[in-house]
Amino acid sequence: MTELHCLTARAAVALLKKGEVTPLDLIDAAEKRIAATDRPLNAMPTLCLGRARDHARRMMAGKAPKGRGAAALHGLPIAVKDLDAVAGVRTTQGSPIYADVVPERSDILVEMLEANGAIVVGKSNTPEFGAGAQTYNQVFGVTGNPWDLSKTCAGSSGGSAAALAAGQVWLATGSDLGGSLRTPASFCGVIGFRPSSGRVPTGPEGMPFGMMSVAGPMARNVGDCALMLDAMVGEVPEDPRSLPRPATSFQAAVAKARPPKRVAFSPDLGFLPIDPEVRRVCAEAARRFEAMGARLDAACPDFSGADAIFQTLRAAGFAMSMAAEYANHRDKLKPEIIWNIEKGQTLSVEAIGRAERERGALFHRVFAFFKTYDLLVTPAAMVPPFDKTIPWVTEVDGRRFDNYVDWLILPGAITLAGCPAISVPCGFTATGLPIGLQIVGPPRAEARVLAAARLFEDATGLADRVPLDPS
């Protein structure tokens, strides 16, 4: 029982299905591992083990669902990012404004996971309102990176990524506007998958038609990621963006993976600064697709103007969605959020309209690109893990940034295109820190991306490097 935390999620679910372990056994294993690793890590600041055990006992008595088919998790413990409501559990959004909030209802994605047999054991740390790819906040403090506790786990799904890498849970939720699933996965040597908008239902939300941020799965390997995505998807009328469940499960797509025929690699999307070590490691890793028999070209879509488009639409979104927090609690917001809201408040209708039109043109260019290429491959982040005392990256390869968003434009540009994208471990820096490769597919081609990611993961043999003891 002491090694249960080392199992893959699929192996743990198989044992649950056979009755060789119980959900209570896995909750005990998670509790033990969290107790052993979280004091220096600070990935899971809020636990709900009593709620989890009550849920497990109802499930074992046949009074709570275990899930059906490929979506069945049979009582597997998971972590939920602290942006997402869990009924009866403190949900802070990393903000002192909501430090004592205990919601009565869970987010739709949590309801979906629990209906498919997941058991929530705790909330993973996140930066305030998920803003900024460095996981620290005034409520719980900073989360470290299990590979090197002096480094950041990135964000905003940093607590989830760190908890997975340390073996605290088998699966975890995340969300992504400008890389918040992909960047922490890259920094922590795990999997973070941003699906197409609507693939994973969320809410209820005050702005249910928003098209930039999505929720998605995080796991230690691609097969486990497919398992979790199967348990997260489905059409929910309360989320007007939500898509029907695919006829073929994502696990089946991964199991039947075939090599892509034509792959494009770009280290910088044609216009971005990239840390030289990241550039080298990702270029070498991309050649794995050639070894699979794919044609690998140096190419990418025309991402002209992506940085300005992303900054404008992000700022407009912050101004709209956080109007009440700004009006009533400005003194409790961190400076970066205030800057983003106020930037949005100064935008004209003309500027926002121009950004939306330019985003549309970018989407069509990317869509046309995928008529030639099966996949686009890039680094998942501009830089490797950096010191956790640094709020945000101010310079990359000689280019200086004057705001906390610019270093996130690489994944942010992919967000604008509406494409599914996954971060998969591809190598390490000279000091042993993980680097992730981003694999991108056309809109709604989650199965294609997952299948390619599994083949790449098999080729690298890096999936068994986690869980690890924080050091």
Structural contact between residues 383 and 396, judged by C-beta atoms closer than 8 angstroms:
yes
- Side chain identity at 51, as an amino acid letter? R
Distance between CA atoms of residues 3 and 406, nearest Å: 42
Distance between CA atoms of residues 88 and 439, nearest Å: 37
Distance between CA atoms of residues 440 and 420, nearest Å: 6
Residue 334 a catalytic site member = no
Task: Select which of 95, 106, 124, 156 is catalytic.
Answer: 156
Residue 39: how many other CB atoms lie within 10 Å: 9
Q: What is the dihedral of CA 242, 246, 247, 252, to 10 degrees?
A: -150
Residue 256 a catalytic site member = no
Structural contact between residues 194 and 417, judged by C-beta atoms closer than 8 angstroms:
no
Distance between CA atoms of residues 180 and 95, nearest Å: 17
Burial, 331: exposed, middle or buried (Cβ in 10 Å; 0-12, 13-18, 19+)? exposed
β-strand pairing of 148-152 with 144-145: antiparallel
Task: Select which of 180, 196, 213, 423 is catalytic.
Answer: 180
CA distances from 214 to 54, 177, 416 (A): 30, 7, 12
Distance between CA atoms of residues 398 and 169, nearest Å: 39
Q: What residues have CB less than 8 Å from 419, skipping those under 6 apart?
A: 196, 366, 376, 440, 441, 442, 443, 445
Residue 304 a catalytic site member = no
Q: What would you report as the CA-atom Rg of the chain, rounded to the nearest whole angstrom?
A: 20
Distance between CA atoms of residues 311 and 409, nearest Å: 9
> Which sequence positions are flagged as catalytic?
81, 156, 180
